[in-house]
Structure 1
Amino acid sequence: MTPLIDLAELGSVGGFFALREGPGGPGSVPFADVYAPPPAARDPLGLRVGKVERGLRAPEVRVAVSVAQLGLAARLWSVALGSAALYGAVPDLDAALLRWDPDGASPDDLWLTDVRPLPGGARTVRRVVADGHLEPLAAALRARYRISAGLLRGNAGSALAGAARELHAWAVREGREDVGERGLAMAAELFGHPGLRGTGTVDGAAFRRRSCCLYYRCPNGGVCGDCCFERPPSRSSHRASSG
Structure 2
Amino acid sequence: MPSQGLPVVVPEHSLGPTADGVRRRRRPPQGGRLPTPTPGPAPPRALILLLPVDLDLGLDPGLSALRPLGGFSVLRTSRPPSPPRRPAAAAPLAHAYALGHGNALAPAHALGDGTAAGPGDGVPEAGVPVEADPLDFRVRKVAAALGTAETRVAASVAHQGLAARLWSVTLACAALYGAVPGLDPRLLCWDSDATAPDDLWLTEVHPLPGDAATVADVVLTAHLAPLTAAVRTRYGVAAGLLWGNAASALAGAGRELDRWARRHGRTDTATRARSLTADLFAHPLLAATGALAAAPDISFRRRSCCLYYRVPGAGVCGDCCFSRPPGLPRSSPGARSG
| TM-score interval, smaller chain | over 0.9
Specify the structure having the higher radius of gyration (Cα). Answer: 2
Q: Which moved more, 1:162-171 or 1:7-16?
A: 7-16
Mapped to 1, the partners of 2:185 and 2:328 lie a distance apart of 38
2:67 and 2:74 in contact (8 A); partners too:
yes
Count of residue correspondences: 236
Instruction: Report if the CA contact (8 A) 1:66-1:213 is conserved.
Output: yes
Other-structure match for 2:93: 31
Query: Which residue number in structure 2 is paired with residue 221 of structure 1?
Result: 314
Kindly provide the amino acid, as one letter, of the partner of residue 210 in structure 2: G
The answer to whether the 8 Å contact 1:3/1:119 transfers is no
Q: CA deviation at 1:7?
A: 2.2
Partner of 1:163: 253
Which of structures 1 and 2 has the larger relative contact order (alpha carbons within 8 angstroms, sep 6+)? 1
Match of 2:154 in 1: 64
Once the two structures are superposed, residues 190-238 of structure 1 have per-residue CA deviations (whole angstroms, 9 ceiling, x without a partner) of: 11111001111111211111111111110111111111111111179xx
Name the aligned partner's letter for residue 159 of structure 2: Q
The aligned amino acid for 2:93 is F
Q: Are 1:22 and 2:87 matched, yes or no?
A: no
Q: CA RMSD in A?
A: 1.6
The answer to which of 23-32 and 187-196 deviates more is 23-32
**Aligned equivalents of 2:322 and 2:232: distance in 1?**
24
Q: If the length of structure 2 is used for normalisation, what is the TM-score?
A: 0.67
Q: Name which of 172, 194, 197 aligns with 1:107.
A: 197
Q: Distance in 1 between matches of 2:157 and 2:234?
A: 15
Q: Is the 8 A contact 1:200 1:210 kept in 2?
A: yes
Q: Distance in 2 between matches of 1:147 and 1:119?
A: 33
Stretches of structure 1 that go unaligned for 5 or more consecutive residues are 237-243
Q: Shift in Å at residue 143 of structure 1?
A: 1.7
Bigger proportion of residues as helix: 1
- How far residue 8 of structure 1 moved from its aligned partner, in angstroms, is 2.9
CA deviations 1:76-107 (Å, max 9, x no partner) are 01101110011110111001110000011111
- Residues 139-191 of structure 1: per-residue CA shift (max 9 Å, x gap): 11122111100000000000000000000000001100111111111111111
Alpha-carbon deviation of 1:134? 0.2
For structure 2, the 5+ residue unaligned runs are 1-55, 83-87, 103-123, 330-338
- Partner residue in 1 for 2:59: 4
Deviates more, 1:227-236 or 1:95-104: 227-236
In structure 1, C-alpha distance between the alignment counterparts of 2:213 and 2:255, rounded to whole Å: 19
Q: For 2:69 and 2:259, locate their aligned partners in 1 and report how far apart those are by CA, in whole Å.
A: 9
Aligned-partner SS, 2:292: strand
Aligned counterparts of 1:160 and 1:206: Cα–Cα separation in 2: 11
Asked if the contact 2:309/2:325 (under 8 Å) is kept, the reply is yes
Contact conserved, 1:59 with 1:217, CA < 8 A, in 2?
no
Verify the 8 A CA contact 1:70 1:155 in the aligned structure 2. yes
**Any runs of at least 4 consecutive aligned residues in structure 1 with deviations exceeding 3 A, and if so which?**
none
Give distance in 2, aligned partners of 1:138 and 1:82: 23
